Amino acid sequence: MRAAVIGGGSWGTALACVLGHNGHDVVVWSHDAEVARALAKTHENPKYLPGMALPKRVTGTHDLTEANAGAELVVAANPSHVTRAVMREALPSLPKATPIVCATKGIENDSLLTMNEVLEDVLPAEMHPYLVCLSGPSFAKETVLKQPTAVVVASPWEKMAQRVQRWFSNEYFRVYTSIDVAGVELGGSLKNVCAIAAGISDGMGFGSNTRAAIMTRGLAELVRLAVKKGANPLTLSGLAGMGDLVLTCTGELSRNRTVGLGLGRGQKLKEVLAGMTQVAEGVRTAKSVHDLARKLNVEMPLHEAIYRILYEDLPPKAALQSLTSRELKSEFQLH
């Protein structure tokens, strides 16, 4: 099978690596011409995964038409804020009747659409049944190192999800299927905001008690919003919800937790982001979640506090005070 991966960052490269190990020929498109050349000549991504050898079947290009030519599978793995523009540019060369796997986690700022909804907005209706989203607890570096990993692919068309499942699955990369696209996408997106909160807590010197509270209450808020969008709450107890939340809130490789650590230690957001080479999706998603929660009238105090820290320069200590001084209530309420 020949696959095209649109997006030469760490996660797009890791998914290309999985497909390459499975015996498929993979062409990775990168907007960075130097990354594309390195992938083609040395089978390595020196910018995002330096020193990590990729299968010989994985190559690269700076030409979208070349990447998509003859592809039997397309993986969209660009950062959320450029997904619309890149996929609109790719549209003329996208093969017909071909699965398109969205592997990006995020919510578009202006439209408040998830990435699957963005693709539905960009692509013609006849392509919509071929859309599949992939999410779950998965750091790119550990995936390339073949460390055991489990993810989920979601599509309303179960047979489409099962086809993608077979192409990606192997002895270290286990893929489950779901028909709950909304739950899988929102779980993968909102956990990034919770990870910033967990990082802030760690940066302020708080311990495991606080982190556990953030993760659990963050999940409760996540479920409230997801259910309002039509998701199955059980989905959020699985890989795309709790699984990804645990990974991103506790893992040393988490970009969003890294942002939080800096903020918790007194750095300004611009200063933190200036020191990073990769996108922390939670920063943009925090704004989208803030706007979406207000639009749908969903109470999300933890996410609101992170929004205010990021966009209104609220000091983390004041944000903590606003959360701990809220009215006392029952833990579980009807969603």
Instruction: Give the active site residues.
Output: 191
Can you tell me the distance from the alpha carbon of 120 to that of 78, in angstroms, rounded to the nearest whole number? Answer: 16
Instruction: Name the token pair of 112.
Output: 């408040």
Closest C-alpha to 240, from 163, 185, 197, 283:
185
Can you tell me the distance from the alpha carbon of 137 to that of 282, in angstroms, rounded to the nearest whole number? Answer: 15
